Amino acid sequence: MSAWPRYPPCGFGDCSTIPCCAHERNKFFWVELLGTNGEAAKAIIERENPKAAAVIYKHKSPPGPQPDDFCCNRVALYVDDNGNLTNVPFLG
């Protein structure tokens, strides 16, 4: 599998599942970051998986779904009014 391009553009190749996106044993979810500062989480995610770009979205009430397009090179981060994560970040 070739390397994903840096997001944007969206990269997914032949993948349609999160584990498929995590080829080459890259980390693909970050449960431990739930509730942490969004900017700090972005830095951690991009350090732990350099093929992924973490994108911060303002929290919706209730939280909406991930963006409509599936991208192996993006992690959506929803933050509340204080800038803290309201979702468990994962590739897709």
Query: What pTM was computed for the model?
Result: 0.81
For position 20, what pLDDT does the model report? 82
Which homologous superfamily does the CATH classification assign to the domain defined by 27-79? Answer: Trypsin Inhibitor V, subunit A (3.30.10.10)
In whole angstroms, what is the distance from residue 46 CA to residue 44 CA? 6
Q: What percent of the chain has pLDDT over 70?
A: 80
Q: What is the pLDDT of residues 15-29, one digit of tens each?
A: 888 888 876 667 889
18: its two tokens: 């999160």
Which distant-in-sequence residues (6+ apart) come within 8 Å of 84 by Cβ?
35, 36, 37, 38
Per-residue pLDDT averaged across 60-87, rounded? 78
